[in-house]
Amino acid sequence: MTSKSLGNPFDGKTRLNHTTGCRCEICTGHSENPQGLTDYEQGALFEKQIEAQETQAHNHTSQKPVPSVNAPTFDSSDDMMDRAVESAIVRGMFGHSDESRRRFIKMVGGGTLAAALGTIIPLDKVKAAVKDSIGPLEKKKLNVGFVPITCATPIIMAQPMGFYAKYGLDVDVIKTAGWAVARDKSLNGEYDASHMLSPMPLAMSMGAGSIASPYIMPAIENINGQAIVLANKHKDKRDPKQWKGFKFGVPFEYSMHNFLLRYYVAEFGLDPDLDIQIRVVPPPEMVANLRAGNLDGYLSPDPFNQRAVYEKIGFLHLLTKDIWEGHPCCAFACSQKFATEMPNTYAALFKSIVDATQFSAKAENRVEIAKAISPKNYLNQPEIVVKQVLTGRYVDGLQNKILNVPDRIDFDPFPWHSMAVWILTQMKRWGYVEGDIDYKGIAEKVYVAADTAQVMRDLGYTPPTKTYKKHTIMGKEFDYNKPEEYINSFAIKKTPS
Protein backbone atom coordinates (compact mmCIF):
# COMPACT_ATOMS: atom_id res chain seq x y z
CA MET A 1 0.00 0.00 0.00
CA THR A 2 1.58 3.28 -1.07
CA SER A 3 1.04 7.00 -0.68
CA LYS A 4 3.63 9.50 -1.85
CA SER A 5 2.17 12.23 0.43
CA LEU A 6 2.86 10.26 3.63
CA GLY A 7 6.62 10.05 3.70
CA ASN A 8 8.61 9.69 6.91
CA PRO A 9 8.31 13.08 8.68
CA PHE A 10 11.54 12.39 10.61
CA ASP A 11 13.58 11.99 7.40
CA GLY A 12 15.16 15.22 6.23
CA LYS A 13 15.46 13.94 2.67
CA THR A 14 11.74 13.25 2.30
CA ARG A 15 9.35 15.87 1.00
CA LEU A 16 5.88 15.83 2.58
CA ASN A 17 4.20 18.58 0.63
CA HIS A 18 1.82 17.87 -2.24
CA THR A 19 3.01 19.21 -5.57
CA THR A 20 1.01 21.01 -8.25
CA GLY A 21 -1.16 18.50 -10.11
CA CYS A 22 -1.35 16.04 -7.22
CA ARG A 23 -4.55 13.99 -7.66
CA CYS A 24 -4.80 12.35 -4.24
CA GLU A 25 -8.27 12.40 -2.67
CA ILE A 26 -7.46 15.29 -0.31
CA CYS A 27 -5.82 17.49 -2.94
CA THR A 28 -8.70 16.83 -5.31
CA GLY A 29 -11.14 17.73 -2.54
CA HIS A 30 -9.36 21.02 -1.89
CA SER A 31 -9.27 21.91 -5.58
CA GLU A 32 -13.01 21.25 -5.89
CA ASN A 33 -13.83 23.21 -2.71
CA PRO A 34 -11.84 26.46 -2.79
CA GLN A 35 -13.71 27.71 0.29
CA GLY A 36 -11.95 25.00 2.30
CA LEU A 37 -12.73 21.58 3.75
CA THR A 38 -14.06 20.88 7.21
CA ASP A 39 -12.19 18.49 9.52
CA TYR A 40 -14.91 15.94 8.91
CA GLU A 41 -14.63 16.25 5.13
CA GLN A 42 -10.86 15.84 5.26
CA GLY A 43 -11.29 12.77 7.47
CA ALA A 44 -13.84 11.31 5.06
CA LEU A 45 -11.51 11.89 2.09
CA PHE A 46 -8.65 10.31 3.99
CA GLU A 47 -10.82 7.26 4.70
CA LYS A 48 -11.66 7.12 1.00
CA GLN A 49 -7.96 7.26 0.15
CA ILE A 50 -7.26 4.42 2.59
CA GLU A 51 -10.12 2.39 1.12
CA ALA A 52 -8.69 2.83 -2.36
CA GLN A 53 -5.26 1.77 -1.16
CA GLU A 54 -6.70 -1.33 0.50
CA THR A 55 -8.55 -2.28 -2.68
CA GLN A 56 -5.30 -1.95 -4.56
CA ALA A 57 -3.45 -4.04 -1.98
CA HIS A 58 -6.01 -6.86 -2.22
CA ASN A 59 -6.17 -6.84 -6.01
CA HIS A 60 -4.95 -10.35 -6.88
CA THR A 61 -4.11 -9.73 -10.50
CA SER A 62 -1.02 -11.00 -12.21
CA GLN A 63 0.31 -7.47 -12.59
CA LYS A 64 1.28 -5.73 -9.38
CA PRO A 65 0.96 -1.94 -9.31
CA VAL A 66 4.18 -0.07 -9.60
CA PRO A 67 4.76 2.25 -6.61
CA SER A 68 5.34 5.91 -7.24
CA VAL A 69 8.88 7.16 -6.91
CA ASN A 70 9.80 7.67 -3.22
CA ALA A 71 6.34 6.44 -2.23
CA PRO A 72 6.33 4.76 1.20
CA THR A 73 4.52 1.45 1.57
CA PHE A 74 2.21 0.42 4.41
CA ASP A 75 1.15 -3.02 5.55
CA SER A 76 -2.27 -1.83 6.76
CA SER A 77 -4.60 1.13 6.90
CA ASP A 78 -3.75 1.47 10.61
CA ASP A 79 -0.08 1.93 9.73
CA MET A 80 -1.06 4.49 7.13
CA MET A 81 -3.19 6.35 9.67
CA ASP A 82 -0.32 6.30 12.22
CA ARG A 83 1.96 7.88 9.65
CA ALA A 84 -0.66 10.53 8.85
CA VAL A 85 -0.86 11.50 12.54
CA GLU A 86 2.92 11.72 12.88
CA SER A 87 3.12 13.77 9.70
CA ALA A 88 0.38 16.17 10.81
CA ILE A 89 2.01 16.79 14.20
CA VAL A 90 5.50 17.32 12.80
CA ARG A 91 4.28 19.57 10.00
CA GLY A 92 2.28 21.57 12.52
CA MET A 93 5.38 22.11 14.64
CA PHE A 94 7.06 23.79 11.71
CA GLY A 95 4.10 25.87 10.62
CA HIS A 96 3.56 23.53 7.65
CA SER A 97 6.83 24.73 6.15
CA ASP A 98 8.41 21.60 4.70
CA GLU A 99 11.70 23.36 4.02
CA SER A 100 12.01 24.40 7.68
CA ARG A 101 11.30 20.84 8.81
CA ARG A 102 13.95 19.37 6.48
CA ARG A 103 16.59 21.93 7.46
CA PHE A 104 16.00 21.30 11.18
CA ILE A 105 16.25 17.51 10.82
CA LYS A 106 19.46 17.80 8.82
CA MET A 107 20.94 19.81 11.70
CA VAL A 108 19.82 17.71 14.71
CA GLY A 109 18.80 14.40 13.19
CA GLY A 110 15.42 12.73 12.80
CA GLY A 111 15.95 10.44 15.78
CA THR A 112 16.55 13.41 18.07
CA LEU A 113 13.35 15.10 16.87
CA ALA A 114 11.34 11.89 17.34
CA ALA A 115 12.71 11.35 20.86
CA ALA A 116 12.04 14.97 21.87
CA LEU A 117 8.54 14.84 20.47
CA GLY A 118 7.82 11.64 22.38
CA THR A 119 8.62 13.33 25.70
CA ILE A 120 5.97 16.03 25.25
CA ILE A 121 3.20 14.32 23.23
CA PRO A 122 1.77 10.82 23.97
CA LEU A 123 1.84 9.80 20.31
CA ASP A 124 0.29 6.35 20.83
CA LYS A 125 -2.73 7.86 22.60
CA VAL A 126 -3.11 10.54 19.95
CA LYS A 127 -3.04 7.93 17.19
CA ALA A 128 -5.65 5.82 18.96
CA ALA A 129 -7.92 8.82 19.54
CA VAL A 130 -7.73 9.89 15.90
CA LYS A 131 -8.65 6.40 14.69
CA ASP A 132 -11.61 6.32 17.05
CA SER A 133 -12.80 9.80 16.07
CA ILE A 134 -13.16 9.11 12.34
CA GLY A 135 -14.79 5.73 12.59
CA PRO A 136 -17.20 4.68 9.85
CA LEU A 137 -20.81 5.81 9.85
CA GLU A 138 -22.97 3.17 11.49
CA LYS A 139 -25.83 4.06 9.17
CA LYS A 140 -25.77 6.25 6.07
CA LYS A 141 -29.38 6.01 4.89
CA LEU A 142 -31.54 8.08 7.27
CA ASN A 143 -35.15 9.17 7.51
CA VAL A 144 -35.60 12.69 8.88
CA GLY A 145 -39.11 14.09 9.28
CA PHE A 146 -40.12 17.69 8.68
CA VAL A 147 -43.30 19.73 8.77
CA PRO A 148 -43.47 21.96 5.66
CA ILE A 149 -42.75 25.37 7.17
CA THR A 150 -39.92 27.88 6.78
CA CYS A 151 -38.74 27.17 10.34
CA ALA A 152 -37.48 23.84 8.98
CA THR A 153 -35.34 25.59 6.37
CA PRO A 154 -31.97 24.11 7.45
CA ILE A 155 -33.34 20.57 7.70
CA ILE A 156 -35.05 20.82 4.31
CA MET A 157 -32.43 22.70 2.28
CA ALA A 158 -29.65 20.45 3.58
CA GLN A 159 -31.00 17.81 1.20
CA PRO A 160 -31.23 19.62 -2.18
CA MET A 161 -28.22 21.82 -1.40
CA GLY A 162 -25.94 18.93 -0.46
CA PHE A 163 -25.23 19.44 3.24
CA TYR A 164 -26.14 15.87 4.19
CA ALA A 165 -24.11 14.42 1.33
CA LYS A 166 -21.19 16.61 2.38
CA TYR A 167 -20.94 14.56 5.57
CA GLY A 168 -21.43 11.19 3.91
CA LEU A 169 -25.16 10.81 4.56
CA ASP A 170 -28.03 9.80 2.30
CA VAL A 171 -31.03 11.45 3.94
CA ASP A 172 -34.68 11.20 2.98
CA VAL A 173 -36.43 14.30 4.31
CA ILE A 174 -40.01 13.17 4.78
CA LYS A 175 -42.86 15.66 4.69
CA THR A 176 -45.11 15.26 7.73
CA ALA A 177 -48.56 16.76 8.22
CA GLY A 178 -48.09 17.93 11.81
CA TRP A 179 -46.17 17.49 15.02
CA ALA A 180 -48.30 14.84 16.64
CA VAL A 181 -47.39 12.64 13.67
CA ALA A 182 -43.74 13.74 13.81
CA ARG A 183 -43.62 12.90 17.52
CA ASP A 184 -45.26 9.49 17.12
CA LYS A 185 -43.13 8.48 14.13
CA SER A 186 -40.04 9.50 16.08
CA LEU A 187 -41.10 7.52 19.14
CA ASN A 188 -41.81 4.37 17.15
CA GLY A 189 -38.52 4.55 15.27
CA GLU A 190 -39.79 5.41 11.78
CA TYR A 191 -37.73 8.61 11.87
CA ASP A 192 -34.08 8.58 12.87
CA ALA A 193 -34.37 12.27 13.74
CA SER A 194 -36.91 14.97 13.14
CA HIS A 195 -37.79 18.60 12.86
CA MET A 196 -39.56 19.38 16.13
CA LEU A 197 -40.84 22.34 18.06
CA SER A 198 -38.39 23.43 20.75
CA PRO A 199 -40.72 22.48 23.66
CA MET A 200 -41.31 18.97 22.28
CA PRO A 201 -38.09 17.22 23.37
CA LEU A 202 -38.64 18.62 26.87
CA ALA A 203 -42.23 17.35 26.95
CA MET A 204 -41.31 13.96 25.46
CA SER A 205 -38.50 13.46 27.96
CA MET A 206 -40.88 14.31 30.83
CA GLY A 207 -43.76 12.19 29.53
CA ALA A 208 -46.02 15.21 29.00
CA GLY A 209 -48.52 14.39 26.26
CA SER A 210 -46.84 11.08 25.41
CA ILE A 211 -44.92 8.22 26.96
CA ALA A 212 -41.69 9.38 28.58
CA SER A 213 -38.72 8.79 26.31
CA PRO A 214 -35.30 10.44 26.66
CA TYR A 215 -34.85 12.94 23.84
CA ILE A 216 -32.14 15.47 23.15
CA MET A 217 -32.16 18.69 21.19
CA PRO A 218 -28.74 19.37 19.68
CA ALA A 219 -29.76 22.43 17.68
CA ILE A 220 -32.32 25.19 17.45
CA GLU A 221 -33.36 25.65 13.84
CA ASN A 222 -34.77 29.15 13.80
CA ILE A 223 -35.41 32.15 15.98
CA ASN A 224 -38.34 34.53 15.42
CA GLY A 225 -40.24 33.63 12.26
CA GLN A 226 -43.87 33.45 13.45
CA ALA A 227 -46.80 35.87 13.48
CA ILE A 228 -50.30 36.42 14.75
CA VAL A 229 -52.66 36.51 11.75
CA LEU A 230 -56.25 37.74 11.89
CA ALA A 231 -58.99 37.37 9.29
CA ASN A 232 -59.56 40.49 7.21
CA LYS A 233 -62.97 40.98 8.80
CA HIS A 234 -61.17 41.83 12.06
CA LYS A 235 -59.11 44.76 10.79
CA ASP A 236 -61.08 46.96 13.19
CA LYS A 237 -60.14 44.79 16.18
CA ARG A 238 -56.45 45.43 16.66
CA ASP A 239 -56.77 45.64 20.45
CA PRO A 240 -56.55 42.10 21.93
CA LYS A 241 -59.07 43.13 24.58
CA GLN A 242 -61.61 42.94 21.74
CA TRP A 243 -60.82 39.28 21.06
CA LYS A 244 -63.13 37.64 23.62
CA GLY A 245 -64.78 34.65 22.00
CA PHE A 246 -62.25 34.46 19.16
CA LYS A 247 -61.14 31.05 17.90
CA PHE A 248 -57.36 30.78 17.37
CA GLY A 249 -55.28 28.06 15.80
CA VAL A 250 -51.86 26.91 17.00
CA PRO A 251 -49.88 24.05 15.45
CA PHE A 252 -49.39 21.98 18.62
CA GLU A 253 -49.94 22.21 22.35
CA TYR A 254 -46.24 21.86 23.13
CA SER A 255 -45.20 24.73 20.90
CA MET A 256 -43.82 28.22 21.23
CA HIS A 257 -46.87 29.30 19.23
CA ASN A 258 -49.21 28.14 21.98
CA PHE A 259 -47.09 29.58 24.77
CA LEU A 260 -46.50 32.93 23.05
CA LEU A 261 -50.20 33.33 22.15
CA ARG A 262 -51.20 32.55 25.74
CA TYR A 263 -48.59 34.95 27.09
CA TYR A 264 -49.67 37.71 24.69
CA VAL A 265 -53.41 37.64 25.34
CA ALA A 266 -52.89 37.25 29.10
CA GLU A 267 -50.87 40.47 29.11
CA PHE A 268 -54.02 42.17 27.80
CA GLY A 269 -56.17 40.65 30.53
CA LEU A 270 -57.62 37.67 28.64
CA ASP A 271 -57.54 34.17 30.11
CA PRO A 272 -56.57 31.93 27.18
CA ASP A 273 -58.51 29.01 28.67
CA LEU A 274 -61.71 30.98 29.33
CA ASP A 275 -61.90 34.05 27.10
CA ILE A 276 -60.74 32.61 23.77
CA GLN A 277 -60.62 29.18 22.17
CA ILE A 278 -57.26 27.72 21.19
CA ARG A 279 -57.40 24.83 18.75
CA VAL A 280 -54.58 22.64 17.44
CA VAL A 281 -54.52 22.91 13.64
CA PRO A 282 -51.74 21.47 11.44
CA PRO A 283 -49.90 24.37 9.76
CA PRO A 284 -50.86 23.41 6.19
CA GLU A 285 -54.55 23.65 7.19
CA MET A 286 -54.37 27.11 8.80
CA VAL A 287 -55.18 29.15 5.70
CA ALA A 288 -58.14 26.96 4.67
CA ASN A 289 -59.64 27.18 8.16
CA LEU A 290 -59.23 30.96 8.19
CA ARG A 291 -60.93 31.21 4.79
CA ALA A 292 -63.79 28.94 5.92
CA GLY A 293 -64.40 31.02 9.05
CA ASN A 294 -63.46 28.19 11.40
CA LEU A 295 -60.76 30.42 12.87
CA ASP A 296 -60.66 34.13 13.63
CA GLY A 297 -56.90 34.04 13.61
CA TYR A 298 -53.86 31.95 14.36
CA LEU A 299 -50.34 32.10 15.68
CA SER A 300 -48.59 29.95 13.17
CA PRO A 301 -45.27 29.29 11.49
CA ASP A 302 -44.59 30.78 8.10
CA PRO A 303 -45.10 30.59 5.21
CA PHE A 304 -48.75 30.26 6.25
CA ASN A 305 -48.86 33.74 7.77
CA GLN A 306 -47.61 35.30 4.56
CA ARG A 307 -49.78 32.93 2.53
CA ALA A 308 -52.90 34.36 4.20
CA VAL A 309 -51.85 37.82 2.99
CA TYR A 310 -51.04 36.43 -0.47
CA GLU A 311 -54.52 34.89 -0.64
CA LYS A 312 -56.04 38.20 0.57
CA ILE A 313 -57.94 36.54 3.41
CA GLY A 314 -55.87 37.71 6.40
CA PHE A 315 -53.33 40.22 7.67
CA LEU A 316 -50.31 40.18 9.95
CA HIS A 317 -51.39 41.60 13.28
CA LEU A 318 -47.97 41.13 14.91
CA LEU A 319 -44.66 39.41 14.32
CA THR A 320 -43.69 37.25 17.29
CA LYS A 321 -40.28 38.92 17.37
CA ASP A 322 -42.20 41.90 18.76
CA ILE A 323 -43.31 39.72 21.67
CA TRP A 324 -39.88 38.24 22.32
CA GLU A 325 -36.97 39.29 20.14
CA GLY A 326 -34.86 36.22 19.34
CA HIS A 327 -37.26 33.65 20.74
CA PRO A 328 -36.65 30.00 19.79
CA CYS A 329 -39.13 28.13 17.67
CA CYS A 330 -38.24 24.93 15.84
CA ALA A 331 -35.44 22.49 16.45
CA PHE A 332 -33.58 19.41 15.30
CA ALA A 333 -34.08 16.56 17.77
CA CYS A 334 -33.50 12.85 18.13
CA SER A 335 -33.69 10.14 20.75
CA GLN A 336 -30.88 9.67 23.22
CA LYS A 337 -30.80 6.08 21.98
CA PHE A 338 -29.97 7.13 18.40
CA ALA A 339 -27.18 9.44 19.57
CA THR A 340 -25.70 6.77 21.85
CA GLU A 341 -25.96 3.74 19.57
CA MET A 342 -24.88 5.51 16.37
CA PRO A 343 -22.40 8.14 17.55
CA ASN A 344 -20.62 8.64 14.22
CA THR A 345 -23.85 8.89 12.24
CA TYR A 346 -25.30 11.21 14.87
CA ALA A 347 -22.19 13.40 14.74
CA ALA A 348 -22.34 13.62 10.94
CA LEU A 349 -26.05 14.49 10.98
CA PHE A 350 -25.49 17.01 13.78
CA LYS A 351 -22.71 18.72 11.83
CA SER A 352 -24.74 18.85 8.62
CA ILE A 353 -27.62 20.56 10.47
CA VAL A 354 -25.40 23.11 12.22
CA ASP A 355 -23.59 23.84 8.95
CA ALA A 356 -26.89 24.26 7.09
CA THR A 357 -28.26 26.49 9.87
CA GLN A 358 -25.25 28.78 9.69
CA PHE A 359 -25.60 28.94 5.90
CA SER A 360 -29.27 29.85 6.31
CA ALA A 361 -28.35 32.65 8.72
CA LYS A 362 -26.58 34.60 5.97
CA ALA A 363 -28.93 37.06 4.29
CA GLU A 364 -27.17 36.70 0.95
CA ASN A 365 -28.20 33.02 0.80
CA ARG A 366 -31.90 33.50 1.47
CA VAL A 367 -33.13 33.95 -2.13
CA GLU A 368 -31.27 30.82 -3.24
CA ILE A 369 -32.73 28.89 -0.30
CA ALA A 370 -36.26 30.10 -1.07
CA LYS A 371 -35.91 28.69 -4.56
CA ALA A 372 -34.59 25.36 -3.23
CA ILE A 373 -37.30 24.72 -0.62
CA SER A 374 -40.43 26.09 -2.35
CA PRO A 375 -41.13 23.15 -4.70
CA LYS A 376 -43.92 20.62 -4.20
CA ASN A 377 -41.79 17.96 -2.50
CA TYR A 378 -40.76 20.43 0.20
CA LEU A 379 -42.94 23.44 1.13
CA ASN A 380 -45.20 23.38 -1.94
CA GLN A 381 -45.62 27.15 -1.79
CA PRO A 382 -45.30 30.03 -4.27
CA GLU A 383 -41.64 31.03 -4.30
CA ILE A 384 -42.57 34.70 -3.85
CA VAL A 385 -44.29 33.87 -0.55
CA VAL A 386 -41.28 31.98 0.80
CA LYS A 387 -38.91 34.69 -0.44
CA GLN A 388 -40.88 37.39 1.40
CA VAL A 389 -40.54 35.42 4.65
CA LEU A 390 -36.84 34.58 4.33
CA THR A 391 -35.66 37.98 3.10
CA GLY A 392 -37.90 40.02 5.40
CA ARG A 393 -39.16 42.15 2.50
CA TYR A 394 -42.91 41.63 2.58
CA VAL A 395 -46.39 43.12 2.64
CA ASP A 396 -48.52 42.72 5.75
CA GLY A 397 -52.04 43.05 4.34
CA LEU A 398 -52.55 46.35 6.17
CA GLN A 399 -50.16 48.92 4.76
CA ASN A 400 -49.81 49.74 1.09
CA LYS A 401 -46.05 49.37 1.10
CA ILE A 402 -43.24 46.83 1.30
CA LEU A 403 -41.87 46.37 4.80
CA ASN A 404 -38.21 45.56 5.40
CA VAL A 405 -37.55 43.45 8.50
CA PRO A 406 -34.39 41.38 7.79
CA ASP A 407 -34.68 39.44 11.05
CA ARG A 408 -38.33 38.53 10.59
CA ILE A 409 -36.89 35.02 10.70
CA ASP A 410 -33.33 34.13 11.58
CA PHE A 411 -31.32 30.99 12.15
CA ASP A 412 -29.11 30.24 15.14
CA PRO A 413 -28.38 26.66 16.22
CA PHE A 414 -27.37 27.35 19.82
CA PRO A 415 -29.86 25.84 22.33
CA TRP A 416 -29.77 28.21 25.29
CA HIS A 417 -30.54 26.48 28.58
CA SER A 418 -32.33 29.63 29.76
CA MET A 419 -34.77 29.32 26.85
CA ALA A 420 -35.58 25.78 27.98
CA VAL A 421 -36.18 27.01 31.52
CA TRP A 422 -38.61 29.66 30.20
CA ILE A 423 -40.50 27.02 28.21
CA LEU A 424 -40.76 24.85 31.32
CA THR A 425 -42.20 27.79 33.30
CA GLN A 426 -44.93 28.20 30.69
CA MET A 427 -45.69 24.48 30.69
CA LYS A 428 -46.24 24.73 34.43
CA ARG A 429 -48.04 28.09 34.26
CA TRP A 430 -50.70 26.64 31.97
CA GLY A 431 -51.02 23.25 33.64
CA TYR A 432 -49.20 21.03 31.14
CA VAL A 433 -46.95 19.80 33.94
CA GLU A 434 -47.43 19.91 37.68
CA GLY A 435 -45.43 19.47 40.86
CA ASP A 436 -41.80 20.20 41.52
CA ILE A 437 -39.65 20.66 38.43
CA ASP A 438 -35.88 20.48 38.23
CA TYR A 439 -35.78 23.33 35.72
CA LYS A 440 -32.05 23.52 35.12
CA GLY A 441 -31.53 19.78 35.39
CA ILE A 442 -34.07 19.05 32.65
CA ALA A 443 -32.88 21.95 30.49
CA GLU A 444 -29.26 20.81 30.60
CA LYS A 445 -30.10 17.16 29.95
CA VAL A 446 -32.30 17.81 26.90
CA TYR A 447 -30.71 20.93 25.37
CA VAL A 448 -27.16 19.66 24.77
CA ALA A 449 -25.56 23.09 24.49
CA ALA A 450 -22.02 21.91 25.24
CA ASP A 451 -22.15 19.51 22.30
CA THR A 452 -23.53 22.25 20.06
CA ALA A 453 -20.74 24.60 21.06
CA GLN A 454 -18.11 21.97 20.25
CA VAL A 455 -19.59 21.23 16.83
CA MET A 456 -19.78 24.95 16.08
CA ARG A 457 -16.10 25.30 16.96
CA ASP A 458 -15.21 22.25 14.85
CA LEU A 459 -16.92 23.87 11.87
CA GLY A 460 -15.20 27.21 12.39
CA TYR A 461 -18.10 29.09 14.00
CA THR A 462 -18.00 30.94 17.30
CA PRO A 463 -20.44 29.69 19.94
CA PRO A 464 -21.55 31.67 23.00
CA THR A 465 -19.31 31.33 26.04
CA LYS A 466 -22.24 30.65 28.38
CA THR A 467 -25.53 28.72 28.19
CA TYR A 468 -27.81 30.93 30.30
CA LYS A 469 -28.83 34.52 29.76
CA LYS A 470 -31.73 36.77 30.74
CA HIS A 471 -34.56 37.26 28.27
CA THR A 472 -37.14 40.01 27.92
CA ILE A 473 -40.68 39.10 26.89
CA MET A 474 -43.08 42.01 26.31
CA GLY A 475 -40.94 44.28 28.45
CA LYS A 476 -40.71 41.86 31.40
CA GLU A 477 -37.34 40.35 32.25
CA PHE A 478 -37.12 36.61 32.81
CA ASP A 479 -34.57 35.54 35.42
CA TYR A 480 -33.74 31.88 34.81
CA ASN A 481 -32.55 31.59 38.44
CA LYS A 482 -36.07 32.27 39.77
CA PRO A 483 -38.53 30.22 37.68
CA GLU A 484 -41.12 29.68 40.41
CA GLU A 485 -41.05 33.34 41.38
CA TYR A 486 -41.56 34.19 37.71
CA ILE A 487 -44.63 31.94 37.42
CA ASN A 488 -46.14 33.35 40.59
CA SER A 489 -45.72 36.92 39.30
CA PHE A 490 -48.52 36.42 36.75
CA ALA A 491 -52.12 37.13 37.75
CA ILE A 492 -53.49 34.95 34.97
CA LYS A 493 -52.43 31.32 35.06
CA LYS A 494 -53.91 27.85 35.43
CA THR A 495 -54.94 27.04 38.98
CA PRO A 496 -53.43 23.69 40.03
CA SER A 497 -56.10 21.02 40.45
Query: pLDDT by residue for the chain (497 residues), tens digit each?
Result: 333 356 787 887 777 665 445 555 556 665 666 555 554 555 555 555 555 554 454 444 434 433 343 455 555 545 666 777 777 787 777 766 778 888 888 887 878 878 877 777 776 766 655 555 557 999 999 999 999 999 999 999 999 999 999 999 999 999 998 999 999 999 999 999 999 999 999 999 999 999 999 999 999 999 999 999 999 999 999 999 999 999 999 999 999 999 999 999 999 999 999 999 999 999 999 999 999 999 999 999 999 999 999 999 999 999 999 999 999 999 999 999 999 999 999 999 999 999 999 999 999 999 999 999 999 999 999 999 999 999 999 999 999 999 999 999 999 999 999 999 999 999 999 999 999 999 999 999 999 999 999 999 989 999 999 999 999 999 999 999 999 999 999 999 998 76
For 60-93, the pLDDT digits (tens) are 443 443 334 345 555 554 566 677 777 778 777 7
Cα distance between the two ends of the chain? 72
For 303-356, the pLDDT digits (tens) are 999 999 999 999 999 999 999 999 999 999 999 999 999 999 999 999 999 999
216-254 CB burial, b ≥16 within 10 A, e <16? bbbbbbbbbbbbbbbbeebeebeebeebeebbbbbbbbb
Predicted pLDDT of residue 6: 62
Q: In what helix (H) or strand (E) does residue 337 lie, and over which residues does it extend?
A: helix 336-341
Predicted pLDDT of residue 134: 57
Quote the crossing angle between the two packed helices 417-429 and 439-446, to the nearest 10°: 130
Distance CA 104, CA 117 (A): 14
Q: Is residue 328 reached through a cis peptide bond, with omega within 30 degrees of 0 on the bond before it? A: no
305 and 251 Cβ atoms separated by less than 8 Å = no
Q: What is the pTM of this model?
A: 0.76
For 224, what's the count of Cα atoms within 13 Å in the CB-facing half-sphere? 18
- Give alpha helix (H) positions in 98-168: 98-108, 110-120, 123-133, 153-157, 163-166
Do the strands 277-280 and 409-410 form a parallel or antiparallel pair, or are they unpaired? unpaired
Give the angle 393-399-402 at the CA atoms, nearest 5°: 20
CB-count exposure of residue 5 (10 Å: 0-12, 13-18, 19+): buried
